[in-house]
Every structure is written in C-alpha cells, then in structure tokens.
A and B are shown apart, each in its own frame.
Chain A
Amino acid sequence: MRTVRAIGAFATATAFAILGLGSCSHDDNSLVIFAAASLQGPFRELAESFATATGATTPRIHVAGTPQLVLQIREGACVDVFASADTVQMQRVVDLGRVHGDTIVFAKNKLVIVTSPGNPHGIRALEDLARDGLRVLLCGPDVPAGRYAREALANASISVRSVSDEPSVRSVAHKVALGEVDAGIVYATDAKALGNRVESVAIDPRWNVTATYVAANTDSDLGASFVRFLESKDAARILMHHGFETP
C-alpha cells in the first residue's frame, strides 16, 4: 500500500509541477522577449543593459524566424515584448489583439549578398545570382528576410530559384558559411556577425530594400518599459554597434 501511495503522490506532484511550468506567470519577474532571428546579437546585450539600467532581472530572449514567433504568440505563448523584422508580421499580432500601446520602429537594416570566403564564383551583383547552376539560398517568402530578398530581386527584375525556403535568416547565413550553397541574401548585420567566415557583396542601392524592425508591448507594464528602452540612446548605441541603423 505504501508503494501505491508513493506512486500516487509522485504522479500528483508531477502533474502539478507540469501545470506550474505551463503557467504564464513567471515568479522571477523576468521579461520574456520574442525577437526576430536577425536580432540575436544586439538583444542579448540589450537585455543586459536594460537590467543594469532598471535594476530588473535580465530579460529572457527567445530568437526565431519571425513567422514562428507570430505562430507561438497566436497559440498563446507568454510573451512580454515582441520584436518583429517587418511590419507585416507585427500587424498579425496587432490583429490578434495582443499588442498594448503603440508599436515603435527601433532599427533598420539593409540586405547584402553573402558568399563563401574568397567568393569563388565571382559574384559581384544581384544579377549574378541568376546564373545557371549557382546554388542560391533564401528564406521562405513569409519570413521577413525572404520577403525583402524577393522584393530586391523583383526590383532588379531578376528571377532566382532558392534551393530551399529557410525558416530564418540565421540558417541561410550559416549554410552559406558552411559552404553548402554558393550564395545567399541576408541582412548586413548577419554578414557582419559572421565576420570572415563569409564574404559580403553589396547590393545596388537602386534595388536594395530597407528592413524595418518594430517592437510592441504584448503583455505587462514591464514590457512597456523595455519597449521604451529600445528607443533610448543606450539601446541605439548597442544596435549601431551590431551594424543596425537606428531611426
């Protein structure tokens, strides 16, 4: 009988523990921030800086392709701040009624072409990506980086077939760095973060597109304070250090 009671107690405890893990309130009061994949670098620093400035616990950052974040928010993820790589995906969250207050534009970015180090295929411009036999990698059309890249290609009237619709810009950047593809289109900040593991090739400003990063408070008062912090000089300095432009 003792064993049965022990099993029963264990099962009950497990059930409550799981329910506890599933609850939205976090006891440590730390913010949960969902950020577009390209924001990984600056957002770690921004979280630290925010914690230092306000005395709050360091926010927890969850980074993924923007559409995946929107999906998780739609299905009820507990998130205090959402930072999107474009306004299209942010609008979806606004439409869900999850945004409190205004959405703010806090950073901008440009696209570049990246190739393996040494640029073995001699890619000089967007036009070169249309060459036969070249393996070019883009994000899927719903991912902001993929949508922007397709916009730039359309501006230049070039048709490029991506060898895969990648879920986030980071996976494009890393597969180019691994040498699995000949070229990819990513943000200038991704190329900067990868340093000499890739070679970047500028896109003609006539065709290039500006990526607009927007953030919004999606839950608590503390969320609002992080969104305000994103507009501060300290935040702008960190973002610029990582290669972003600030509005």
Chain B
Amino acid sequence: MTGHTHPPPRASIVAVIAACALIGLPLLGLALRAPWSTILDQISRPEVFRALWLSIECSVAATALSFVIGLPLAVWMASETSRWTNVVRAFVLLPMVLPPVVGGLALLLAFGRNGVFGQYLDAWFGITLPFSTAGVIVAETWVALPFFVLTTESGLRATDTRAADAAATLGAKPWRILTTITLPMIAPSLQAASILAWARALGEFGATITFAGNLESTTRTMPLAVYTALESSPEAAITLSFVLIAIAMAVLFVLRKRWFPTGRTAR
C-alpha cells in the first residue's frame, strides 16, 4: 500500500469536520443523556444480561454457520472455475445491499410456519423457525454471510499462488493444497471475515424482529432490547447502547491493523 504523500487541499478540513460531527455528535448526545449515576445498576439488571447472553449465543452461532458455508463458497468463487460464479456472487451479496427488514419478510414468507418451504419443515421435522432462537440465528446468518464471503474471497485473491502451484506440480491434491497452504496463508483474512460477520450478526435488528419476533430470553437480542426499552425506559435503552458501543470499539481494536495503516511508508 502506498501512502498519499501530497498534502490535501486545505478546504478538505471542512469535510473532515462535517464527517466527525455527523458521527460524533450523536454519540456525544447519547453520552450526555446517559444516566451515569445509575448506569452500573442498569447494566447489571438480569434482563440486560439475558439479552447480552442471547446476543452472544446467536451471533457466535451465526458466525460459525457463515464460516462453514462461507469458506467453501469463497474458495469456489475465488477459483472462478464455473461460469456461474458471478450469478452465485450476486445472490450471496444481495443481503448486504438489501434492507434487513426485507430479508426478514422474505425469510418469514419462505420459512415461516405457513411459508412456501416452512410448511414442510413444520410438517416433516416439526421445526418452526419464527419466534424461536433458531430463527434469530438464521436471520443473523442471512445478513452476516456476505461479509464473511466477501472478505475471505478478497483474501484468497490476494494470496500468492506460487506455493500452491508448486505443490500442485509436485502432485498434491486440491484438498491438501487448500488445508496445508492456502488456508494458513489467508488466516488473517479469515479472522477479519469472522469478526466482521460476527459484528454484523450482533447488530442485526430488522431481519430478526420481522422473522423471529421479540421475546425476552428467546429472541430479544441486544438491538431488540434497545428498541423495546425505548418504549418504556429511554435511560435503559441508552445504557444498553453503551454496551454495544463498547463491543464495537473492541472490534475496531482487534481489527486495528486492517483499518489503521501505521504510517505513510507502511507496507
């Protein structure tokens, strides 16, 4: 990566201030109205713990699902061995550009108890996804998968293929090349992909509330808890928001190498 070494036009400072104000002022507003004197009591309430625990369970499960489905998919897409690659890519990326609430509605109409496919899930296996924790995981995977696949695929495309080529010449099978050469090389991308997918799953709201509903301990994850608390106790909603902001900052910290180049001459 080459740094931008020319000084920027002085006027660009206006845009810098505008961007910082746009993002920073709402956070400041949140901080100024936070019930600081009771915030510890609020955070230690059992319903906050339940929402947080449910959020962690579901987002980790959604990340695991994204990993299991997304890694082979990314490998297949990066190889570009099929002319269907771009069709599949368009499908996989769709949830990233669609409003999540549309995803939730689509999931409900497809996998709901009376849904096009959901009725068979119910009749044959007794599985009903809406209003269940499994429904939350499906909704979160729906929105998180593209982030995993895209990040992993770009990691795969950026790898140096010479080692893999050499291994292939020496007679290594694709599976062996993948597991012993390619995957270790893209480990940083896999880490970033997992964290991005996890953060997206953790923050999921629209698809979850539409598809899985909003019930404490079953489907009320942190973002839904914020939304629900707003109706009765805005202070509780602010407190919950701070928990999510803290998690977001932790994500930035973990991914700092990826998003914070260490200087103009770095790398």
Q: Which residues of A contact B (CB under 8 A)?
A: 4, 8, 65, 67-68, 70-71, 74, 135, 137, 140, 142-143, 162-167, 178-181
From B112, which residue of chain A is reached at the shortest CB distance? A180
B108 A167 Cβ-Cβ under 8 A: no
A180 B108 Cβ-Cβ under 8 A: yes
B215 A164 Cβ-Cβ under 8 A: yes
Q: Which residues of B contact A (CB under 8 A)?
A: 9, 11, 108, 112-114, 130-131, 209, 212-216, 218-220, 227-228, 230-232, 234
Counted as pairs of residues, one from A and one from B, with CB atoms less than 8 Å apart, the total is 56
- Complex CA distance for A65 and B213, rounded to whole angstroms: 15
Among candidates B112, B114, B214, B220, residue contacting A167 with C-beta atoms closer than 8 Å: B214
Q: Can you list 7 A-B contacts with CB-CB less than 8 angstroms, sorted by A residue number?
A: A142-B231, A164-B213, A164-B214, A167-B209, A179-B113, A180-B108, A181-B131
Among candidates B113, B219, B220, B231, residue contacting A180 with C-beta atoms closer than 8 Å: B113
B215 A178 Cβ-Cβ under 8 A: no
Interface of chain B, main secondary structure: loop
From A143, which residue of chain B is reached at the shortest CB distance? B231
B231 A71 Cβ-Cβ under 8 A: yes
- Complex CA distance for A143 and B114, rounded to whole angstroms: 27
- Complex CA distance for A198 and B53, rounded to whole angstroms: 37
A178 B214 Cβ-Cβ under 8 A: no
Which chain B residues lie closer than 8 Å to A142 at the CB level? Answer: 231-232
B132: min CB distance to chain A, Å: 9
B240: min CB distance to chain A, Å: 15
From B15, which residue of chain A is reached at the shortest CB distance? A11
A165 B214 Cβ-Cβ under 8 A: yes
> With contacts A180-B108, A180-B113 known, is A163 near B231, CB below 8 A?
no
Among candidates A65, A165, A178, residue contacting B112 with C-beta atoms closer than 8 Å: A178
Which chain B residues lie closer than 8 Å to A65 at the CB level? Answer: 231
- Complex CA distance for A70 and B131, rounded to whole angstroms: 27
- Complex CA distance for A143 and B228, rounded to whole angstroms: 10
Which chain A residues lie closer than 8 Å to B131 at the CB level? Answer: 135, 163-164, 180-181
A86: min CB distance to chain B, Å: 13
B215 A162 Cβ-Cβ under 8 A: yes
From A181, which residue of chain B is reached at the shortest CB distance? B131
Which chain A residues lie closer than 8 Å to B219 at the CB level? Answer: 164
Q: 8 tightest CB-CB pairs across the interface, nearest first?
A: A164-B213, A179-B114, A67-B231, A163-B131, A142-B231, A164-B215, A142-B232, A180-B112
- Complex CA distance for A4 and B131, rounded to whole angstroms: 53
A186: min CB distance to chain B, Å: 16
> With contacts A135-B131, A163-B215, A166-B214 known, is A178 near B230, CB below 8 A?
no
> With contacts A4-B11, A179-B113, A179-B114 known, is A165 near B108, CB below 8 A?
no
- Complex CA distance for A213 and B218, rounded to whole angstroms: 33
A178 B11 Cβ-Cβ under 8 A: no
- Complex CA distance for A71 and B215, rounded to whole angstroms: 21
B9: min CB distance to chain A, Å: 8
Which chain B residues lie closer than 8 Å to A4 at the CB level? Answer: 9, 11
Which chain B residues lie closer than 8 Å to A67 at the CB level? Answer: 231-232
- Complex CA distance for A180 and B10, rounded to whole angstroms: 58
A68: min CB distance to chain B, Å: 7
> With contacts A4-B11, A140-B214, A181-B131 known, is A165 near B228, CB below 8 A?
yes
- Complex CA distance for A178 and B234, rounded to whole angstroms: 32
Other than the given A68-B231, A167-B227, A181-B131, 9 more pairs (CB < 8 A) read A4-B9, A70-B231, A71-B231, A142-B231, A143-B231, A163-B213, A164-B131, A165-B215, A165-B228
Which chain B residues lie closer than 8 Å to A178 at the CB level? Answer: 108, 112, 114
Which chain B residues lie closer than 8 Å to A68 at the CB level? Answer: 231
Which chain B residues lie closer than 8 Å to A179 at the CB level? Answer: 112-114
From A135, which residue of chain B is reached at the shortest CB distance? B131
